[in-house]
Each structure stands twice: as C-alpha cells, then as structure tokens.
Amino acid sequence: MREISINTIAIPVLQEAFGVNEHIRDVVRRFAYHGFVALAPELYHRTAPGFEGLYDDVGTAVAHMKAMTPRGLELDLEAACAWLMNEAPVLPGEVSCVGFCMGGRAAFVAAALLPLRAAVSFYGGGIASGLLNRVPQIHAPMLFFWGGLDKHIPPEQVAATTQALRSAGKAFVNVEFSQADHGFFCDARPSYDPGAARQSWAHALEFLKSRSG
C-alpha cells in the first residue's frame, strides 16, 4: 500500500461537461498513484446527480453545464477545498487543482477564489469571454494546456487570456500542442492525442510538485 505523508499535495480534479465519468475517476486514481490526495467534486449535484454523459451526446452535457450557476460553482469549489484542508492528511496551503474542459474553466475560477498553491487548466473554454475580470484576484501560479486545432477555443481567446495575466503580473505557464485538438488528454474521446497527453501529464505533475511546500 502506498504510504501517504502528512505533507501530501491535495488535488480537486474538476470534471469535463460530461460529468464525473470513468475518465475523471481514472485521472483521480492516477494522481493518487503519484502520492496526491485527489477527489472529484460532482459539480452537477444540484441538477443532475450521478450524471455521466456520452462523448457523442454533447447536447445533453451542455444542457447540464448551462444549468450550473456561478455562485453554485464557487460554493462547490470552496467546499472541496475546505474538505481537503480540514479532513485530508495535508499541511495548510498544500491544495492545488486541475480541471479539464469545463473543469479547466473552473480551475481558473478556483485560482481567483481560493488560496491554492497552483492550478492547471486543460483546454478551459470561456475564460477569455467571461472570466478575465477575475484576473486581479488570481492567487496561484497557473499552467495552461491548449490544442492548436481546437475550434472551441480560437487563438485569439488564448492570447487574450495570457495577455490579461501578463498585464496583471500574474505567474503562469502557457503550453500549446499545435497538432492537438480539444479534449486531447482524454483517451475515451476521438480527439485523444497520446503524445500530447503523455507530455502534458508529465508537465502537470512537475508543475504541481514543484509548488509544494
């Protein structure tokens, strides 16, 4: 059995629009294998508890995503962070977060809302169009991963996000895989890119561990 030390880094893993499905559970298990305390809060618990969407049924997933409210998301992020700080075997200040797609956007919100050590956003949509007003409140260094072929997040939105962070003097790392598409990390999606997934995973682990106390 893998031993968990008291200075373990805690990680909320923030879901895609498709819910806390097998892919997200697998990411949680992968973090746990590397010694993190990881959990995946169910962000649809108010309107669709237990929802696990199909990757070929985007419409249903988007409908549940649109049913979320900004305040509801904030409350869920605060609750996940508080549980990890109070109940998990971690030292104060050793909570970071990682999010994918919708969760990548939520990771940006978390970095502005919570006292995180670091935050990682995989292809987080809607940041440039709706969250740049939160840039002044960003507390944590951020790592962004984008797919260069991603039509959901065009280059101008990536540029607007990074420029806003740069202008505000925030710490961030920006990584684009030019030949990868949206969802490249998920091996259950047609857009899965093994090379980009492998490299981004290694980079994310190093980024998170290097910012532990």
For residue 21, the domain's CATH number is 3.40.50.1820
Catalytic, 186? Answer: no
Catalytic, 181? Answer: no
- What is the rounded distance in angstroms from the CA atom of residue 177 to the CA atom of residue 71? 33
Other beta carbons within 10 Å of 211: 18
The verdict on residue 2 lying in a domain is no
Catalytic, 76? Answer: no
Task: Give me the catalytic one of 81, 97, 150, 193.
Answer: 150
Q: Is residue 3 very low, low, confident or very high in pLDDT (cuts 50, 70, 90)?
A: very low
Could you tell me the strand order of the sheet in which 97-100 lies? 37-39, 10-14, 97-100, 119-122, 142-147, 172-177
- What is the rounded distance in angstroms from the CA atom of residue 5 to the CA atom of residue 195? 32
What average pLDDT is seen over the chain? 93
Q: Is residue 212 very low, low, confident or very high in pLDDT (cuts 50, 70, 90)?
A: low
Q: What is the pLDDT of residues 136-166, one digit of tens each?
A: 999 899 999 999 999 999 999 999 999 999 9
The verdict on residue 38 lying in a domain is yes
The verdict on residue 1 lying in a domain is no
pLDDT of residue 85: 84
pLDDT of residue 210: 87
* pLDDT(4) > 80: no
The verdict on residue 74 lying in a domain is yes
42-58 average pLDDT score: 95
pLDDT of residue 71: 97
- What is the rounded distance in angstroms from the CA atom of residue 200 to the CA atom of residue 114? 24
Q: Which residues contact 27 (CB under 8 A, 6 or more apart)?
A: 13, 38, 40, 98, 100
Task: Please give the model's pTM, rounded to 2 decimal places.
Answer: 0.94
- What is the rounded distance in angstroms from the CA atom of residue 133 to the CA atom of residue 39? 28
Q: Is residue 94 very low, low, confident or very high in pLDDT (cuts 50, 70, 90)?
A: confident
Residue with tokens 């990881």: 38
The verdict on residue 147 lying in a domain is yes
Task: Give me the catalytic one of 76, 101, 181, 193.
Answer: 101
> Sign (positive/negative) of CA torsion 209, 77, 85, 27?
negative
Q: Give kind and range of the element (H or E) at residue 122.
A: strand 119-122
- What is the rounded distance in angstroms from the CA atom of residue 117 to the CA atom of residue 84? 13
Task: Give me the catalytic one of 76, 182, 186, 193.
Answer: 182
Range of the domain at 182: 10-210
In DSSP terms, 120 is beta-bridged to 98, 143
The verdict on residue 81 lying in a domain is yes
pLDDT of residue 213: 52
The verdict on residue 67 lying in a domain is yes
The verdict on residue 187 lying in a domain is yes
3-state secondary structure of 160: helix
DSSP per residue over 22-49, as a string? HHHHHHHHHHHHTT-EEE---TTTTTST
Count of domains observed in the chain: 1
Other beta carbons within 10 Å of 50: 9
Pull the structure tokens for residue 110. Answer: 């978390």
168-185 average pLDDT score: 98
